[in-house]
Structure 1
Amino acid sequence: MIRVQVVDDEALIRSGFELILNAAADIEVVATSTGAEAADTVKRLRPDVVLLDIRMPDVDGLTVLREIRTMPDAPVVAMLTTFDSDEYIVTALRSGAAGFILKDTEPEQLAQLVRTLAAGGVVLSPKASRSMLHGHPGHGTDDDPGVRRVGLLSEREREVLVLVAEGLSNADVGARIHLSAGTVKDHVSAILTKLRVSSRVQAALLAQRAGLLDGQGRGETLGRGPGQRGDTER
């Protein structure tokens, strides 16, 4: 079962997401909470996925995100928002969010997005992908420490990084380049360590700054995550 916590200041949103997700055979909403209660609830119940409202009156969603990301074995966090042009999205992604879900997402798509997150994929709309990967003019230079770290990657690690930037899970990356999911997991772990980042999204941002995604249209494919849940992925 994929264990989910929904965090939102509106009771109607919390109950609606809970009702929709609990209808899926492989998903259980273990908690719903306001922002003020979110971090303590995560520590107590250890969900696999947290759906976190990016704007709440009681506590800022970005503050909650950063607190959750400091926890050992932190859950995957996706931000909930009303608009895919929300100016806080890029900040959230740079802070470790694995993507975002629009609050008006079709019910039949919501469970699939949660499965994507649980399997290590990235959930973004095409507009948000363009904002994240192309919204900041210019690439990093050779003096950019992040770009220099990308240069430390092996050819295989660069190949894996580009596929990770597409939003693929370890299993899907392995299927694409004929490696086992375990081998891909080892590559992803090495990539995150070499790049000194804590999430796949942050690694994708560095890939863009280093020019690895140029001319390949991959900024539009980040929302295409895997369809099934796999092993826990870094």
Structure 2
Amino acid sequence: MIRVAIVDDEALVRSGFRLILSAAPDLEVVGTFDGSETTDAIVGGKPDVVLLDIRMRGRSGLDILHDIREMPTPPAVAVLTTFASDDHIARALGDGAAGFLVKDTDPEQLPTLVRSLAAGGIVLSPSISRTVIDGYLGAGDRAASRLIEALTERERQVLARLVAGESNREIGSTLHLSVGTIKDHVSAILRKLGVATRLQAALVSERAGLTTSFSAVDR
């Protein structure tokens, strides 16, 4: 079972997400929270994935994200936002969010996205503004392209599968490589691109034109 925690200050959102996810046989919602609880309470059920509202009337979702990412073995965190142009997205990217979802994401896609996150994949709603991505990356297309050019051909292949939302195991199966070898390639990719997370690497790739979509959201 994949264990999921939902943090949002709107009761309707919490109950709706719980209903959708609980209907999947392999997903278990271990807790729903309104943001007033401590980080320890949120992760007390040992979730594999946390769906976290970025804007709450109580405690900031960004503060909760920071605390979670400081944990020795943190769960994957996908940030929920109502606005695709939310100005907090850049900070959440820097703090290690594994994905971004607008709250009107197709309910039929939600279980698949959670599974992708739990497997180490990344998710990004297509409606997240390109200007927000540009603002986070800072460097232009040409600079991003130079970073990509520093990768080996095999690293580019791994990066392309990473952008598709695949886990290390799935990438290894596609490329006929061991999981350990894929982990080594991913570490090298992050180092060469100067980023800390798989999602950040995917955004550099998208900026350089190597990839044009985050298919984990669409499949």
Distance change (3 Å), C-alpha of 1:175 and 1:134: farther
Q: 1:188 aligns with which of 186, 189, 196?
A: 186
The residue aligned with 2:169 is 171
**Contact 2:90/2:133 (8 A) holds in 1:** no
Q: CA deviation at 1:30?
A: 0.5
Distance change (3 Å), C-alpha of 1:106 and 1:193: same
Distance change (3 Å), C-alpha of 1:175 and 1:63: same
SS at match of 1:188: helix
Moved more, 194-203 or 62-71: 194-203
Q: Provide runs of 4+ in structure 1 moved above 6 Å.
A: none
Partner Cα distance (2:138, 2:92) in 1: 19
Distance change (3 Å), C-alpha of 1:206 and 1:66: same
Partner Cα distance (2:19, 2:100) in 1: 19
Cα deviation, 1:95-133, whole Å, max 9, x if unaligned, reads 211112222223222111111111222111223273455
The residue aligned with 2:140 is 139
SS at match of 1:19: helix
Partner Cα distance (2:24, 2:12) in 1: 19
Partner Cα distance (1:111, 1:132) in 2: 26
Distance change (3 Å), C-alpha of 1:76 and 1:206: same
Cα deviation, 1:28-86, whole Å, max 9, x if unaligned, reads 00011122315112442221000000100111111111111111110000011112222
The 5 Å alignment of 1:1-234 reads 1-128=1-128, 130-131=130-131, 133-134=133-134, 138-139=139-140, 153-192=151-190, 197-207=195-205, 213-214=208-209, 216=210, 218-219=211-212, 221-224=213-216
**Contact 1:119/1:226 (8 A) holds in 2:** no
Distance change (3 Å), C-alpha of 1:38 and 1:187: farther
Moved more, 131-140 or 71-80: 131-140
Partner Cα distance (1:169, 1:226) in 2: 16
Give the paired residue count: 217
Distance change (3 Å), C-alpha of 1:139 and 1:157: same
Distance change (3 Å), C-alpha of 1:71 and 1:193: farther
**Contact 1:42/1:68 (8 A) holds in 2:** no
Partner Cα distance (2:186, 2:120) in 1: 11
Distance change (3 Å), C-alpha of 1:166 and 1:91: farther
Partner Cα distance (1:152, 1:36) in 2: 45
TM-score normalised to structure 1 length: 0.77
% identity of equivalent residues: 53
Partner Cα distance (1:31, 1:137) in 2: 37
Distance change (3 Å), C-alpha of 1:172 and 1:133: farther
Partner Cα distance (1:162, 1:132) in 2: 22
Q: What stretches of structure 2 of length at least 5 have no aligned partner?
A: none
SS at match of 1:127: coil
